[in-house]
Amino acid sequence: MSYYIFGAKATATGLYKALSVLRPEITIKAFLVSKQDENLNSIWGCPVRSIFDVSDGLSDVEKQQAQVFVAVPELIHTEIEAVINQCGFYNLIMIDSHLEAKIMGEYYDVEGRFRSVRKLDAVQSKPLPAVTMYQACFYLDKPLKNQPSLLEFHKTLYLGCYGAKESGVDINGKADYYDNTGDNISQLNHLRCEMTAHYWIWKNKLDTLDEYVGVCHYRRLLDLTDDDIRRIKQNDVDVVLPYPMLHYPNSQIQHTWYVEEKDWILTKKVVKELYPEYGEKFDEVFSQHYFYNYNILLAKKKVFSDYCSWLFPILDRIEKLSNPRGEERNDRYTAYLSESLETLYFMTNMNDLCIYHTGKLLFV
């Protein structure tokens, strides 16, 4: 049997690495893509090839016997499955977020890196610690086909409420909390996306009785159960992050997909200006393969506060120095840069904080 991976971005590269460790008996012949010119020529020595070219070179029997791991975002699974089927491949394994989390958790466990919260002990009879996970929802989000079942510690936080009010949209009663109340930067949501949630929590909710606070998205949740919450408390975990995604050739490639190079250069300059010790780690961190996506986490209140106190001066400075300035833009660039900054912060503090990981679950 021949094996292929459809996709050539982070999910696919992570899957390739994981399979090389977890399933050493199989050999991936190629990464398959629909547009060759938009991708690298090879990843870790494995060729990246057009699925149409590969299909033309195989017999019907060879295509029927081939197995294809489909490692692209779930939002386009149906569309991509149709393309693959049209090329004659039908033996598909769709890598959804649940399966990806399972595979990457097993891979990192074997590698001894990025420890899983599920490896910790928990006493089930112990009461749950005080936790609030704020589910960041944009006021214009479309309904999901498979709405996640939220646990009691999840609370909805509507974002972009400044814009909703300016547009005359009635959002009253739609959420537990709104990002235009109290001390807020809701007017910057078009630039910072879920980071207006981080700011709102930082400024308005850290004096509560909660021990841990966090941010997830309306369609992306950290895979945490009540027992996981007990594990976090009983083992004095500082922060839970999603398993980092693996990028090739290194994690710097992430910013090339979403922000202009001038913004990346400015970010590095600002970090060096405000926090020289992090500036010294900048190139080292982004020369690695690991990247924390999506700005989602659960942390002790102090850890969350320390992180926000570090992060927001950087974002403010970037927007002030950008050309054009942040308030004149509408490209969400500081939201994307926040993912890189989250990666820089927690990778730099990996030995100073008690960090554990879990999967991120996507709902469509």
Class of domain 3-95: alpha beta
Handedness of CA 110, 111, 112, 114 (dihedral sign): negative
3-class DSSP state for residue 188?
A: helix
Quick one: angle between helices 301-321 and 195-204, nearest 10?
130
Asked whether the bond before 143 is cis by omega within 30 degrees of 0, the reply is no
* Contact in structure between 70 and 92 (CB atoms under 8 Å): yes
pLDDT of the residue at 40: 94
Backbone φ and ψ of 3, nearest 5°: -125, 140
pTM of the model: 0.96
Which residues, in sequence order, are bridge partners of residue 299? 213, 239
Which tokens belong to 306? 């320390």
Q: CATH number of the domain at 131-362, out of 1.10.287, 2.40.50, 3.90.550, 2.40.128?
A: 3.90.550
Please report which helix (H) or strand (E) contains residue 97, including its range.
Answer: helix 97-111
Could you tell me where the DSSP H helices lie in 140-275?
161-167, 189-192, 195-204, 226-234, 253-258, 261-274
3-class DSSP state for residue 73?
A: coil
pLDDT beneath 50: ranges in the chain: none
Pairing of strands 239-242, 297-300: antiparallel
What ranges do the domains of the chain cover?
3-95, 131-362
pLDDT of the residue at 274: 98
pLDDT of the residue at 149: 81
Residue 206: burial class (beta carbons within 10 Å; 0-12, 13-18, 19+): middle
Which tokens belong to 352? 């100073």
pLDDT digits (tens, 9 = 90+) for 135-182: 999 999 988 888 888 889 999 999 999 999 999 999 999 999 999 999
pLDDT of the residue at 146: 82
Backbone φ and ψ of 66, nearest 5°: -75, 150
pLDDT of the residue at 143: 87
Of 141, 143, 140, 138, whose CA–CA distance to 157 is shortest?
Answer: 138
Which tokens belong to 257? 């997909």
Q: Which amino acid is at 44?
A: W
Handedness of CA 346, 348, 350, 354 (dihedral sign): negative
